[in-house]
Structure 1
């Protein structure tokens, strides 16, 4: 085996060992945050088979005529169905980005990967307590197990494939909901294409970009060597501070393209910095899922955000 290949294998083995060792701590932290956020939350209301009235909606061709509410339909020229409050569990697919770029952290911050996993586990805890089923694409089948965080942690550790920087392509049902948590530093057109593929079935979703503060502010100066964590390419620059303005412009353009792609499909987009509490992201994301659709926006309008300011 070549030296480079041997080093790659050893690095992957060490990373896997570190990930496995960190899981108990991350699960405990996720459960603590979920318990904090759970106080005051109410169950999510969804259309389905419950007994309480939920809303009227337009009749869709192919549905049984017995579902038509004729009294409501008689008021205008359209047919309406009387929907009941959702009580049967549907599936929420959660994908945390575990690719090498998520290992990055600046001084005083936790790795982005840890934040993504903590939020994923905590969100799953809240959803299962609310009667939902949670799955992880290509890692774990949907489950409503009360030990959902441990199940997810085990699935992550035992995942057979090398983590990719984009969610795997799969075909969720139209009633499913998808939560993608990663840094999304892949080319914007690739990210947009994957979101479009996942939304093709009609599933609704949420894109959360998790970033380190240094990735936002570019605090580097002097002679710096930058290394691409997934491809291994290296770039040495003499006066790093001279790159700051162009970097910030490229960052805004990149994020805007992903946000526009998500919102065009009815998905929400959010930004979360690791110097902000995980509970802020969890609460805002759970609230957004309960509201259904739209961007995560501060009162009075503005740019979408979860925590850490406008996107």
Structure 2
């Protein structure tokens, strides 16, 4: 949306060196962020097939006779069902938009939208793996896996983005049936591909959350007077002498885009959240964690 340096082609060697140099910092930030979310084991307290006792509940119409705990029921006037914890590992698919618009930051004191999205994505992956779940990236063909080695693979892939255009579109592979997913993006490009991707995901029973990552300047539109607006690639340029006069129209379009995303999420059983890079990452990570619990099948 606004000015920034243009990207230049890099050799494979220099690109690999950049990834290797940034990887420890990303992992350290994600580990620190995940450590602030003191939530215990991820997603264990759910009734289902398993061996570990969780709780008793009163029997309901439709419960099989074999599910009734007759010993517990003998001590009361009603029948009780013995529930066990849900223990099957599920898959959490994570998508991070690496388009050039995501590299924007309105201040050196703030991380870029891409870096914040990467940090949130890796912190979420760490929490999921610690909870015994499998994680994967939506744009890769490899299936989701668990373990520390998978976290390293994901971090490396996130730090080595493809040569994308100004604005990103979802690039999901076929996700596992019943998986949960989180997509991080500024969602400033065409909204049609987002609706199509979520529709396809919903057809496979995949639910999750859209997390829109914006810089505070993109929310406030603080520009005034003579201003040159330039896309991150430099392909789109627009100069005006009265930038302040565009503020109302811009804010109206941004509000419309948020409303569209909320509607798409609601119609497909997903949830929507907007995160600003000028704020701490912890509240958004906690929101994402709870959102995934609410859409758990």
Both structures adopt the same fold (TM-score exceeding 0.5): yes
CA distance in 1, matches of 2:94, 2:284: 14
Q: 1:213 aligns with which of 209, 213, 216?
A: 216
CA gap of 1:201–1:230, structure 2 versus 1, over 3 A, is farther
Instruction: State the shift of 1:30 in Å.
Output: 0.4
2:239 is aligned to 236
Indicate the SS of the match to 2:121: helix
Whole-angstrom distance in 1 between the partners of 2:220 and 2:61: 48
State the shift of 1:173 in Å: 2.6
Partner Cα distance (1:248, 1:58) in 2 = 52
How far apart are 1:90 and its partner, in Å? Answer: 1.2
Conserved 8 A contact 1:116-1:182: yes
Give the counterpart of 1:169 among 151, 169, 172: 172
Aligned partners of 1:122 and 1:149 also within 8 Å: no
Which of 158, 171, 174 is 1:156 aligned to?
158
Q: Which residues of 2 match residues 238-277 of structure 1 at below 5 A?
A: 238-277=241-280
Matched residues in 2 for 1:46 and 1:231: separation? 50
Report the Cα offset of residue 138 of structure 1: 3.4
Contact 2:180 2:295 in 1 (8 A): no
Pairwise mapping of residues 104-253 of structure 1 onto structure 2 (< 5 A)? 104-107=104-107, 108-139=109-140, 140-157=142-159, 161-163=162-164, 165-229=168-232, 232-253=235-256
Figure out how many residues of one structure are paired with residues of the other and give that number.
270
Kindly state the Cα deviation for residue 281 of structure 1 after the two structures are TM-superposed.
1.0
Q: Deviations over 1:148-188 (max 9, x none)?
A: 432211223456x4347122132223320111011111122
- Alpha-carbon contact 1:166-1:194 (below 8 Å) kept: no
The Cα offsets for residues 103-142 of structure 1, whole Å up to 9 and x where unpaired, read as 0001121101100000000111011001100011233531
Which structure is larger by alpha-carbon Rg, 1 or 2?
Answer: 2
Instruction: Give the direction of change, closer, same or farther, for the CA distance of 1:12–1:289 in structure 2 (3 Å limit).
Output: farther
Separation (CA, whole Å) in 2 of partners of 1:204 and 1:47 = 19
The equivalent residue for 2:21 is 21
Provide the secondary structure at the position in 2 that maps to 1:143.
coil
**1:18-39 deviation line (CA, Å, top 9, x unaligned):** 55532211110100111121x2
| CA distance in 1: counterparts of 2:201 and 2:255, whole angstroms | 24
Q: Distance in 2 between matches of 1:281 and 1:227?
A: 29
Query: Please, what TM-score do these two structures have when normalized by structure 1?
Result: 0.76
TM-score when scaled to structure 2? Answer: 0.80
Does residue 96 of structure 1 match 2:99?
A: no
The separation in 2 between residues aligned to 1:198 and 1:228, in whole angstroms, is 30
Q: Relative CO higher for 1 or 2, CA cutoff 8 Å, sep ≥ 6?
A: 2
Asked if 2 retains the 8 angstrom alpha-carbon contact of 1:172 and 1:198, the reply is yes
Q: Is the 8 A contact 1:102 1:182 kept in 2?
A: yes
Contiguous gaps of at least 5 residues in structure 1: 1-6, 60-67, 73-81, 294-311
For the structure 1 residues 118 and 276, does the alpha-carbon distance in structure 2 shift closer, same or farther, using more than 3 Å as the test? same
Distance 1:162 1:83 in 2: 50
